[in-house]
């Protein structure tokens, strides 16, 4: 069989054969040796950038890191703001924008920037993705993907994305219009195309599941080739997962990744959110940049172990999470992803609460009857919030009172909410729904 996806990677200069060989060697390292293996790879990538990357040399020079002692926890934590300077100033010696893979982050954290990976590192990223999707019988050369993503709307970039979709065995549903009229068209495609899996932004796929629920349709009944659904980029709530699995008739897999790194965590067939320990080293740090014990929440900080073109060493991705107590060096498990560090609400009492707490508390009530399709929460003052929502019928006073009582109970009393019913909710340029926003 002609393997067009493999060929497209090869034509782009990614050494996939070598990447598969290296990845297989990593997988073969036994648990008993994995800590030493990871620490050795950490030291190698730090040493490479200290010798070859002026940007990283300058960053480390300002930190308490001692070259002779090599104390990992004294290395500086890299933030997205550190990276908001021309790419040419951040590339390692021997690399140029013409010899590396270059892309731009989505900017969902509010700090977009251009990044680079050397082609060997990017080949390893693809190997990691291929490996994990393979857990569910997905082959990028032959499996047909229903893709719920944004797409650039200018002509040239639009056509480029469509070509990538063709090469990647994907059919894309742009998610800027998620009206019932559009979702009806999506449904028709599932009736006529043999999709193997669904992949895309959580909020959009949840809306499609709600649309199917209203019509009492199970997707696998009309598209029997479907095997699995992978959701990414936004929080997946347990009740949404149950709804999707019911309406799609297939397993729903939670994916957590970052374009500048790799897949960070991917749910395995046993339901564990396994962290990628092959190409990444993931830490959970406190406010002093020191590791916290497994089971305790903190900032997710990641080291890319193989990217020589650009340093991502102790890189603060901007998320808060918890590693499971049963995590090992070879098999770390992400127990919980709590949201972004810039999505913290500061309340009048001084209490700090992840913005998703509001979303979660409100969601449990606001969607009881299926009337409200989706909503976002904005903090405009320490005690004042606005909720924009899309619904068939406007919220009544009894529903609003119930929401207020839950917020008083789970957060604190004296918070003021206004409710704005909308036709559609505003999404980012890439089609993501930012579920909590703070204007403070």
CA-CA distance, 67 to 47, in Å (whole number)?
9
Helix (H, G, I), strand (E, B) or coil at 401: helix
Measured distance CA(388)–CA(375) in Å, rounded: 6
CATH of the domain spanning 344-438, picked from 2.40.180.10, 3.40.50.10240, 3.30.300.30, 3.40.50.720:
3.30.300.30
Structure tokens at 349: 């009492």
Domains 4-338 and 344-438 share a fold: no
Strand-pair partners of 385: 379, 417
Average pLDDT over residues 298-324: 95
Distance CA 13, CA 87 (A): 20
- Condensed to tens digits (0 to 9), the pLDDT of residues 380-419 reads 999 999 999 988 889 889 888 888 888 888 788 999 999 9
Nearest to 45 by CA among 365, 297, 372, 280: 280
For residues 57 and 49, give the distance between their C-alpha atoms in angstroms, rounded to a whole number: 7
Distance CA 244, CA 207 (A): 9
Q: Is the model more confident about 69 or about 86?
A: 86
Q: Where are the domains of the chain?
A: 4-338, 344-438
Tell me the C-alpha distance between 4 and 344, whole Å: 44
Query: Which one, of 27, 80, 103, 42, lies nearest residue 315 by Cα?
Result: 80
Beta strands per DSSP E along 119-163: 145-149
Return the pLDDT at 356: 66
Q: What is the model's pLDDT at position 351?
A: 78
Express each pLDDT in 31-76 by its tens digit: 999 999 999 999 999 999 999 999 999 999 877 666 655 689 989 9
Give the strand order in the sheet containing 334-340.
Answer: 280-285, 298-304, 315-323, 334-340
Q: Count Cβ atoms within 10 A of the Cβ of residue 130 and give its class: 0-12 exposed, 13-18 middle, 19 or more buried.
A: buried
pLDDT band at 367 (very low <50, low <70, confident <90, very high): low
pTM above 0.85, yes or no: no
Strand, coil or helix: what is 59? Answer: helix
CA–CA dist 429, 300 (Å, integer): 25
CA dihedral 78, 79, 81, 82 (to 10 degrees): 0
Helix and strand totals (H; E) in the chain: 12, 19
Q: Greatest CA span in the chain, whole angstroms?
A: 67
Q: What Rg, from alpha-carbon coordinates, does the chain have? A: 23
pLDDT tens-digit series, residues 326-345: 999 999 999 998 876 656 78
- pLDDT for 110 beyond 50: no
Query: How far is it, in rounded angstroms, from Cα 339 to Cα 162?
Result: 31
**Reported CATH class of domain 4-338:** alpha beta
Average pLDDT over residues 342-366: 75
């Amino acid at each position: 069989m002609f393997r067009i996806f493999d060929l497209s990677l090869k034509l782009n200069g990614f050494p996939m054969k070598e990447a598969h060989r290296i990845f297989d060697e990593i997988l073969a390292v036994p648990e008993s040796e994995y800590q030493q293996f990871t620490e050795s790879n950490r030291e190698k990538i730090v040493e490479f950038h200290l010798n070859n990357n002026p940007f990283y040399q300058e960053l480390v020079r300002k930190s308490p890191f001692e070259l002779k002692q090599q104390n990992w926890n004294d290395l500086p934590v890299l933030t997205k703001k550190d990276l908001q300077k021309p790419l040419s100033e951040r590339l390692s010696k021997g690399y140029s924008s013409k010899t590396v893979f270059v892309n731009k982050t989505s900017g969902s954290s509010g700090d977009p920037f251009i990044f680079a990976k050397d082609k060997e590192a990017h080949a390893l990223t693809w190997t990691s993705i291929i490996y994990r999707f393979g857990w569910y019988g997905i082959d990028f050369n032959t499996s047909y993907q229903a893709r719920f993503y944004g797409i650039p709307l200018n002509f040239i970039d639009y056509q480029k994305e469509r070509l990538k979709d063709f090469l990647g065995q994907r059919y894309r549903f742009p998610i800027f219009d998620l009206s019932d009229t559009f979702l009806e068209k999506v449904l028709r495609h599932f009736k006529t195309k043999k999709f193997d899996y669904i992949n895309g932004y959580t909020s959009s796929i949840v809306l499609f599941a709600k649309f199917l629920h209203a019509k009492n349709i199970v997707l696998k009944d009309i598209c029997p080739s479907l095997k699995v659904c992978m959701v990414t980029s936004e929080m997946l709530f347990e009740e949404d997962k149950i709804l999707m699995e019911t309406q799609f008739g297939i397993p729903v897999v939670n994916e957590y990744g970052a374009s500048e790194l790799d897949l960070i965590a991917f749910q395995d067939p046993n339901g564990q959110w396994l962290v990628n320990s092959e190409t990444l080293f993931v830490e959970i740090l406190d406010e002093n940049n020191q590791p916290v014990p497994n089971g305790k929440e903190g900032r997710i900080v990641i080291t890319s172990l193989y990217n020589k073109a650009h340093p991502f060493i102790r890189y603060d991705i901007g998320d808060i999470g918890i590693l499971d107590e049963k995590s090992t060096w070879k098999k770390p498990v992400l127990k919980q992803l709590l949201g972004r560090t810039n999505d913290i609400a500061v309340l009048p009492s001084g209490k700090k609460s992840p913005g998703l707490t509001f979303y979660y508390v409100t969601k449990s009530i606001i969607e009881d009857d299926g009337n409200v399709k989706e909503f976002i929460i904005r903090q405009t003052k320490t005690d004042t919030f606005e909720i924009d929502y899309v619904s068939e019928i406007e919220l009544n006073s009894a529903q609003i009172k119930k929401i207020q009582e839950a917020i008083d109970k789970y957060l604190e009393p004296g918070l003021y909410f206004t409710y704005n019913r909308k036709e559609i909710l505003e999404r980012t340029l890439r089609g993501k729904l930012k579920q909590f926003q703070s204007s403070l």
